[in-house]
């Protein structure tokens, strides 16, 4: 069972994807810390483009990005951060909340939280993908 099944609002992804399985591989662009909560938010690309994209997105969009919020964070640890912050996100239920770990070659982010939610989903045109003649990441 992947991290999307632990979300407070899995419908944020399930309305876009036929299956919310195999979304563990993320490319993290931003990590933000908010003292209200406390909250850790990740802005990251998902590994594939959804089968049912929003009509509000540009028709040429070929990448989908999410804001994942870890709410009520404790025992936070961040090691490394680089231009490429790809890694796998693992979430495990605990007695009260969840443990989470994003692990990749350049980044390790881990901690515990009360709950996890998708705060936003958007799409954009990755020019590098277009210039290399690649289609949407599906």
Name every residue whose Cβ is closer than 8 Å to that of residue 92 and which is 6 or more positions away in sequence.
98, 99, 100
Band (131; pLDDT cuts 50, 70, 90): low
Residue 129 has pLDDT above 80, yes or no: no
The mean predicted confidence, pLDDT, of the chain is 93
- Count of alpha carbons within 13 Å of 104, Cβ hemisphere only? 19
Residue 51 CA, distance from chain mean position: 17
Helical (H) or strand (E) element with 33: strand 25-34
First to last CA, the chain: 20
């Amino acid at each position: 069972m992947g991290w999307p099944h632990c979300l407070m609002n899995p419908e944020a992804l399930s309305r876009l994807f036929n299956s919310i399985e195999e979304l563990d591989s993320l490319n993290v662009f931003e990590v933000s810390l908010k003292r209200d909560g406390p909250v850790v938010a990740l802005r990251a690309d998902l590994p594939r483009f959804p089968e049912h994209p929003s009509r509000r997105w540009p028709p040429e969009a070929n990448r989908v990005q999410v804001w994942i919020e870890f709410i009520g964070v404790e025992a936070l640890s961040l090691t490394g951060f680089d231009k490429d912050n790809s890694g796998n996100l693992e979430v495990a239920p605990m007695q009260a909340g969840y443990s989470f770990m994003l692990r990749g070659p350049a980044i390790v982010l881990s901690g515990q939280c009360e709950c996890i939610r998708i705060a936003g989903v958007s799409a954009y045109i990755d020019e590098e993908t277009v210039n290399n003649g690649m289609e949407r990441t599906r």
